[in-house]
Amino acid sequence: MPGFDDPAFYGDRWADVYDEHHAQMDPAPAVEFLAGLAGGVRVLELAIGTGRVALPLAGRGIAVEGIDASEAMVERLRAKPGGELIPVVIGDMAQVPARGPFSLVYLIFNTLFGLLSQARQAECFRNVARVLGPGGVFVIECFVPDLTRFDRDQRVQARAVTEDSAILEVSRHDAAQQRIITQMITFDGHGTRLRPVALRYSWPSELDLMAQQASLRLRERHGGWDRRPFDSSSAGHVSVYQRD
Ligand SMILES: C[S@@+](CC[C@H](N)C(=O)[O-])C[C@H]1O[C@@H](n2cnc3c(N)ncnc32)[C@H](O)[C@@H]1O
């Protein structure tokens, strides 16, 4: 049975509800930021998913391509207006199965952490560096780990409760592995449904070291897509690494 080590696992288990579940997320600030770095050449989104950000970016005339492990997610992208026009390779983002050069590669919404070991994340940095053209940039958006969210390495949240349904989010934290495994559990008239997520978090300094080992240098770090300063109160970061 496929599990967290299967790159397609997350997408295949979330594709039918992904867009509905993330409908409140406005892609505009990310699109604005990324468009400013595109440089008029080819751009690659790792883990393109249903095209939440790639489609509006392509709508600005930017030549976006994608990689994703999940056919089910990419089917959703292809069903949207303009989705068929975006070339997508089905494969593992750690291996970056694409031929460069790209002026911009981006991997957003914490998805680098979907690679469940330091070795897999470092492999991703190395392969991104391989497909970037000179001066090209790699942009990542990640949360800053906040271990105070957990009580004895556990967390339970009531996401929604109505007359005849409840959605709970149940997580376990493994400090040794830097891993968080979450199930979003829906109970309603149709029964019980599980939506699993596994993440291996990295600290910003750890990411910078992976980049450095891939010959990428940190050019900018912001506390969000609006370029607010990154500081000790930042819950996340948008980091731009450059290939010189
Ligand atoms: C949280 S979604 C993000 C989708 C899109 N980037 C966005 O911002 O909406 C994570 C995506 O990563 C893909 N994914 C997870 N692990 C992957 C891997 N190892 N290689 C390629 N894609 C992967 C999933 O299929 C899914 O489409």
Token digits for 6? 């299967």
Q: How far apart are CA 215 and CA 49, in angstroms?
A: 28
Q: pTM above the 0.85 mark?
A: yes
Burial of 72 (0-12, 13-18, 19+ CB in 10 A): middle
For ligand 1, whether the C-beta of 200 sits within 6 Å is no
The pLDDT value recorded for residue 1 is 67
The pLDDT tens digits for 140-160 are 999 999 999 999 999 999 999
* Ligand 1 atom at minimal distance to the Cα of residue 15: 27
For ligand 1, whether the C-beta of 7 sits within 6 Å is yes
Q: How far apart are CA 152 and CA 128, in angstroms?
A: 37
For ligand 1, whether the C-beta of 128 sits within 6 Å is no
- Exposure string for 43-61, b = 16+ CB within 10 A, e = fewer: bbbbbbbbbbbbbbbbeee
* Ligand 1 atom at minimal distance to the Cα of residue 72: 25
Residue 222 Cα, ligand 1 centroid: separation in angstroms? 22
Residue 128 Cα, ligand 1 centroid: separation in angstroms? 16
The pLDDT value recorded for residue 244 is 86
Residues whose CB falls within 8 Å of the CB of residue 201, separated by 6 or more in sequence, listed in order = 113, 142, 143, 145, 178, 179, 180
For residue 233, the 8-state DSSP code is T
C-beta of residue 94 within 8 angstroms of C-beta of residue 120: yes
The pLDDT tens digits for 76-129 are 999 999 999 999 999 999 999 999 999 999 999 999 999 999 999 999 999 999
Examine the pLDDT at 41 and tell me if it is beyond 90: no
For ligand 1, whether the C-beta of 49 sits within 6 Å is yes
- Best residue among 45, 52, 110, 111 to mutate for probing ligand 1's pocket (most ligand atoms within 8 Å of CB) is 111
